């Protein structure tokens, strides 16, 4: 099956093309086309994963582009990491396809939505099969296209238009970093192939400064895609897209591509201490930075978006601390529980038609499936013991501690507290207390939406058990087979206790404030209004960009406009004026007087003689 793995991305591509052509006729039956074809991808991924468990990596390549004596190739590679990603992507995509059938019901552009989902899934599956950097870059941009189209799905809304544009441009800034990094690496190694890059790095063929530079530049691409500081601002805005899209693209798969890229290039990063340090610091900082913003937001999807940014920061921190397994493990568990949270949030929005959590409340009794499923997701992300997030976050904390990043370790612990707090703040406000809405028409979502949530609910609990300190590090051993990386981080046992305490503390404080209401809700805003405003306005990063980068771009453009209109055009006019001036002078010379003609003749002859004398007859 592994030699046929290239078929897996093709199914959703067929779905995309088919729906583009006949979607209009199929109307809402398009959902079945999309579901069927992504299910085929999922089944294929299962077979591939199963085969890869026992067999070595499979790789196939063909010449794609000839440049003189250079031959660039394209192909596919089924490594352990790739096989795992295939399964995560195809599964979440299939579940989202199913869920959307209920969520998007009645939308005028229903088939277009499914077509775009197919395009995105194709690109994402293609990305995780790429055997070289160039192909990765190609699919990397194509997932960006899918994301752009789906964020702007409600194209008639100004906000959606702005968000789509912002997402595309912000990620492209990162992509340029990736492009430069990979080209620099290419001229050092002579190839885009991962294998050859790693061999060259291992042999020391790449100078250490260039290695660090290209690793960091490639990481800039990951920063853009994974919404890391300072290119994170597009991700919360991307919530303008339909909620299933947020679950698939902006939580589970595409935004994790940055983490995947660093993991796929791990031998490169490992070779440069500076690059590793950069990854760890950016990740650790983003984790706490985004979590602190999440504390005070009011839009259910934006809170989840900031939590995604923060969790992706955790993964980066893990990779930067040499915790390869920890990073990939958290990528997997996060994909499940965050997709669950988004789908459950979508179910809530579907029922109450608002995203403001202050307008919600008391939904526990109204939505008896969504509410417990949301709770599962919340417990998992908070690192509550025995849920999947508990195990993966633990691995990350241990990796950070073991690698000697004490400062980052403390930041990560605080971020864990924040996470537990804001997630339970969200939970209590939405599901407990009194209904703040006219709630008699609030109803549970149809089963086509709840079934995918249940599947994710099971995974949000269970997926942590592939890598636990008690039952063995199955995932880690498989991922690190044939490498010297740790299959499991051995760390002091107090870390697990601290992590648990912190998580419980966060839940407890949230309960005091929003459940029991023993603590005033405006505790922060009344006591520290300045701090509250800074957090509520997301540290004013958008405003900062608006008044610097955007402003400067406009200023330069307008300056160029003036140069073009006056300087360049003026020069052309000057030349034209000179020409006509000479013409007029010439006309005046031809005044019919022989004396004048004679003078001109003699002067001209003299000039010619001088020129010939100087140049010797040759130019």
Partner 1 sequence: MNEPYFLSLLIFSPLLGILALSLIPKEQEKTIKMIGVLATLPSLLLALFAFVKHLNGYDLSQLTERREWIHFGKFSFLNETNFTIGYELHIDGLALVMILLTTLLATFAALASTSITKEWKGYFMLFLLLEIGMLGVFAASNLVLFFIFFEITLIPMFFLIGKWGYFEKEKAAYSYLVYNGLGSAILLIVIAVLLARTGTSNVAEIHRIFTDPVAQMQMVSPISEQLRYGLFIALLIAFGVKLPIVPLHRWMLRVHVQAPPAVVMLHSGVLLKIGAFGLIRFALGLFPGQFQQLSTLIVILGVVNLLYGAFLAFVQNDFKMVLAYSSVSHMGIVLIGLGSLNEAGVQGAIFQAVSHGFISAFLFFLVGVLYERVQTTSLDRLGGLAKVMPLTAGFFLAGAMASLGLPGTSGFISEFMAFLGLFKVNPVIAAVGTLGIIMTAVYLLRAVLNMTYGPAKQNDRVSDLRGMEFIPAISLFALIVLIGIYPNVLAAPLQTTIETIMNGLGG
Site residues (vs partner 1, CB under 8 A): 63-70, 134, 137-139, 141-142, 145, 152, 155-156, 158, 160-161, 164-165, 168-169, 172-173, 176, 179-180, 183-184, 186-187, 553-554, 556-558, 560-561, 564, 567-569, 571-572, 576, 618-619
Least Å from the CB of residue 164 to partner 1:
7
Residue with smaller CB distance to partner 1, 571 or 600: 571
- CB-neighbour burial class of residue 273 (10 A; exposed 0-12, middle 13-18, buried 19+): exposed
Residue with smaller CB distance to partner 1, 556 or 610: 556
Residue keyed to tokens 């999440």: 294
Residue with smaller CB distance to partner 1, 76 or 514: 76
Least Å from the CB of residue 165 to partner 1:
5
Least Å from the CB of residue 372 to partner 1:
39
Least Å from the CB of residue 169 to partner 1:
6
What 3-state DSSP class applies to 42? helix
Whether 289 contacts 408, CB under 8 Å? no
Whether 536 contacts 524, CB under 8 Å? no
Residue with smaller CB distance to partner 1, 571 or 606: 571
Nearest alpha-carbon partner for 509 in 439, 420, 577? 420
Residue with smaller CB distance to partner 1, 173 or 454: 173
Least Å from the CB of residue 567 to partner 1:
8
Question: Cα–Cα distance between 22 and 17 in angstroms, integer?
Answer: 9
Number of H helices, E strands in the chain: 27, 2
Least Å from the CB of residue 149 to partner 1:
8
Residue keyed to tokens 């992300």: 381
Angle 553-555-558 from CA coordinates, rounded to 5°: 110
Nearest alpha-carbon partner for 226 in 380, 392, 133, 218? 218
Whether 284 contacts 408, CB under 8 Å? yes
Whether 384 contacts 507, CB under 8 Å? yes
What 3-state DSSP class applies to 230? coil
Residue with smaller CB distance to partner 1, 210 or 524: 210
Token reading at 182: 């990979």
Least Å from the CB of residue 161 to partner 1:
4
Output the DSSP codes for 52-81: HTTS--EEEEEEEEEETTEEEEEEEEE-HH
Question: Cα–Cα distance between 22 and 364 in angstroms, integer?
Answer: 41
Residue with smaller CB distance to partner 1, 152 or 452: 152
Least Å from the CB of residue 417 to partner 1:
38
What 3-state DSSP class applies to 132? strand
Question: Cα–Cα distance between 180 and 329 in angstroms, integer?
Answer: 29
Residue with smaller CB distance to partner 1, 161 or 298: 161
Token reading at 459: 């995974």
Least Å from the CB of residue 576 to partner 1:
8
Angle 452-455-459 from CA coordinates, rounded to 5°: 135
Nearest alpha-carbon partner for 221 in 257, 188, 191, 192? 257
Residue with smaller CB distance to partner 1, 142 or 414: 142
Instruction: Report CA 587 to chain centroid distance, whole Å.
Output: 70
Residue keyed to tokens 């107090």: 494
Residue with smaller CB distance to partner 1, 63 or 531: 63
Least Å from the CB of residue 156 to partner 1:
6
Whether 159 contacts 132, CB under 8 Å? no
Residue with smaller CB distance to partner 1, 30 or 419: 30
Least Å from the CB of residue 478 to partner 1:
31
Question: Cα–Cα distance between 3 and 40 in angstroms, integer?
Answer: 16
Residue with smaller CB distance to partner 1, 139 or 324: 139
Least Å from the CB of residue 370 to partner 1:
32
């Amino acid at each position: 099956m592994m030699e046929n793995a290239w078929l897996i991305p093709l199914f959703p591509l067929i779905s995309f093309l088919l729906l583009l052509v006949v979607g209009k006729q199929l109307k809402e039956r398009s959902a079945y086309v999309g579901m069927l074809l992504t299910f085929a991808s999922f089944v294929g991924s299962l077979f591939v994963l199963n085969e890869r468990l026992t067999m070595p990596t499979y790789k196939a390549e063909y010449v794609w582009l000839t440049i003189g004596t250079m031959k660039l190739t394209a192909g596919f590679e089924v490594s352990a990491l790739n096989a795992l990603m295939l399964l995560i992507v195809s599964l979440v995509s299939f579940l989202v396809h199913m869920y959307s059938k209920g969520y998007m019901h009645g939308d005028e552009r229903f088939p277009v939505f499914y077509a775009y989902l197919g395009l995105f899934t194709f690109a994402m599956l293609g990305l995780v099969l790429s055997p070289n950097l160039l192909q990765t870059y190609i699919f990397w941009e194509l997932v960006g296209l899918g994301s752009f189209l789906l964020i702007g799905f409600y194209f008639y809304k100004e906000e959606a238009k702005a968000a789509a544009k912002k997402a595309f441009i912000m990620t492209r800034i990162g992509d340029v970093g990736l492009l430069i990094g990979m080209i620099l690496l290419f001229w050092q190694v002579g190839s885009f192939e991962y294998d050859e890059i790693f061999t060259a790095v291992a042999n020391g063929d790449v100078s250490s400064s260039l290695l660090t530079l290209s690793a960091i530049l490639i990481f800039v691409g990951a920063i853009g895609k994974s919404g890391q500081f300072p290119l994170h601002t597009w991700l919360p805005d991307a919530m303008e897209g339909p909620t299933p899209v947020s679950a698939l693209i902006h939580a589970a798969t595409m935004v994790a591509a940055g983490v995947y890229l660093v993991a796929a290039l791990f031998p490169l990063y490992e070779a440069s201490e500076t690059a590793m340090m950069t990854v760890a610091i950016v990740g650790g900082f983003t984790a706490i930075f985004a979590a602190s913003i999440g504390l005070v937001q009011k839009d259910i999807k934006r809170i989840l978006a900031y939590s995604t940014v923060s969790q992706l920061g955790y993964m980066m921190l893990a990779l930067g601390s040499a915790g390869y397994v920890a990073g990939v493990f958290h990528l997997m568990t996060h994909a499940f529980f965050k997709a669950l949270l988004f789908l459950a949030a979508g179910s809530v929005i579907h029922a109450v038609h608002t995203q403001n959590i202050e307008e919600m409340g008391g939904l526990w009794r109204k939505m008896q499936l969504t509410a417990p499923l949301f709770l599962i997701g919340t417990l998992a992300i908070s690192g509550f013991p025995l849920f999947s997030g508990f195990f993966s976050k633990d691995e990350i904390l241990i990796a950070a501690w073991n690698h000697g990043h004490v400062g980052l370790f403390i930041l990560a612990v605080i971020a864990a507290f924040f996470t537990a707090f804001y997630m339970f703040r969200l939970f209590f406000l939405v599901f407990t207390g009194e209904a703040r809405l006219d709630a008699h028409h609030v109803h549970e979502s149809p089963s086509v939406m709840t079934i995918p949530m249940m599947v994710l609910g099971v995974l949000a609990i269970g997926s942590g058990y592939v890598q636990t300190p008690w039952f063995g590090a199955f995932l880690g051993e498989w991922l690190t087979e044939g490498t010297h990386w740790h299959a499991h981080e051995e760390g002091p046992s107090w870390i697990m206790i601290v992590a648990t305490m912190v998580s419980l503390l966060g839940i407890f404080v949230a309960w005091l404030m929003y459940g029991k209401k023993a603590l005033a809700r405006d505790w922060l805003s009344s006591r520290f209004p300045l701090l509250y405003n800074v957090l509520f306005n997301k540290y004013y990063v958008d405003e900062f960009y608006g008044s610097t980068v955007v402003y400067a771009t406009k200023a330069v453009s307008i300056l160029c406009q003036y140069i073009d209109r006056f300087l360049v055009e003026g020069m052309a006019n000057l030349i034209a004026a000179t020409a006509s001036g000479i013409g007029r002078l010439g006309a005046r010379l031809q005044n019919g007087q022989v004396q004048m003609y004679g003078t001109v003749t003699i002067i001209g002859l003299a000039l010619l003689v001088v020129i010939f004398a100087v140049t010797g007859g040759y130019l």
